[in-house]
């Protein structure tokens, strides 16, 4: 069975909880409602043979509602099937942990929590993985300032501001729409 066939079976099983499916360059993407995300992931693992969680990431659609989007990359062990599952998440929502499906989801979910501030319910060890405990900000959010935020931590590594501000790959928070906030939309003179 192929990933495309699995997408059809997922549509049959979950109906309206899957609100879009996409095929691009042979890759299958399924966009699901957040309430069905864990059940869809569990079905993919149990019934369709997606034994590996390759990655869990998040996207900040700053200025849109819902603001965030979770992205799960899953595959079969023999790499014959690859599937991408996405779900939109509001700032006040939590995501059900996938650690009961794939143990490897543990660190990915901790990183999403640490960098974006999206919490996971049912996670066995939901604490920061890169930033120190008690750090009050989420550095990969698009509204996080490029120069950073004041901190009580001593400047051990360097004392200057990182040379990113105004560069060609800098996202502009607060642009009129998503496309104008993208780095490629800025003209560097």
Tens of pLDDT, residues 101-146: 999 999 999 999 999 999 999 999 999 999 988 888 899 999 988 7
Confidence of residue 178 (pLDDT cuts 50, 70, 90): low
Cα-Cα end-to-end distance for the chain: 52
Domain range annotation of the chain: 3-144, 149-189
To the question of pTM greater than 0.75 for the whole model, the response is yes
**Residue that has been written with the tokens 């405990």 in this structure:** 133
Between 174 and 70, where is the model more confident?
Answer: 70
Other beta carbons within 10 angstroms of residue 75's beta carbon come to 19
Based on its alpha-carbon atoms, the radius of gyration of the chain, rounded to whole angstroms, reads 19
Contacts (Cβ under 8 Å, ≥6 apart) of 172: 180, 181, 186
Alpha-carbon gap, residue 24 to 29, rounded angstroms: 8
Q: Maximum Cα–Cα distance for the chain, whole Å?
A: 57
Tens of pLDDT, residues 24-78: 998 999 999 999 999 999 999 999 999 999 999 999 999 999 999 999 999 999 9
Q: pLDDT at residue 15 above 80? A: yes
Alpha-carbon gap, residue 84 to 75, rounded angstroms: 9
Between 140 and 177, where is the model more confident?
Answer: 140
- DSSP per residue over 149-167, as a string? ---SS---S-SSPPTTTT-
| CATH superfamily of domain region 3-144 | NADH:ubiquinone oxidoreductase Nqo5 subunit (3.30.460.80)
Alpha-carbon gap, residue 179 to 56, rounded angstroms: 24
């Amino acid at each position: 069975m192929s990933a495309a066939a699995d997408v059809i079976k997922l549509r049959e099983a979950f109906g309206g909880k899957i609100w879009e499916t996409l095929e691009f360059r042979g890759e299958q993407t399924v966009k699901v409602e957040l309430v069905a995300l864990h059940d869809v992931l569990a079905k993919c693992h149990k019934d369709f043979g997606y034994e590996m969680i390759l990655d869990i990431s998040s996207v900040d659609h700053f200025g849109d509602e819902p603001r965030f989007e979770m992205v799960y990359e899953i595959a079969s062990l023999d790499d014959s099937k690859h599937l991408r599952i996405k779900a939109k998440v509001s700032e006040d929502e939590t995501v059900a942990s996938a650690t009961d499906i794939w143990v490897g989801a543990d660190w990915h979910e901790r990183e999403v929590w640490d960098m974006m501030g999206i919490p996971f319910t049912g996670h066995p060890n939901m604490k920061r993985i890169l930033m120190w405990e008690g750090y009050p900000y989420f550095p990969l959010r698009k509204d996080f300032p490029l120069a950073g935020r004041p901190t009580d931590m001593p400047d051990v590594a360097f004392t200057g501001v990182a040379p990113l501000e105004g560069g060609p790959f800098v996202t502009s928070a607060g642009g009129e729409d998503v496309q104008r906030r993208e780095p490629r939309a800025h003209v560097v003179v």
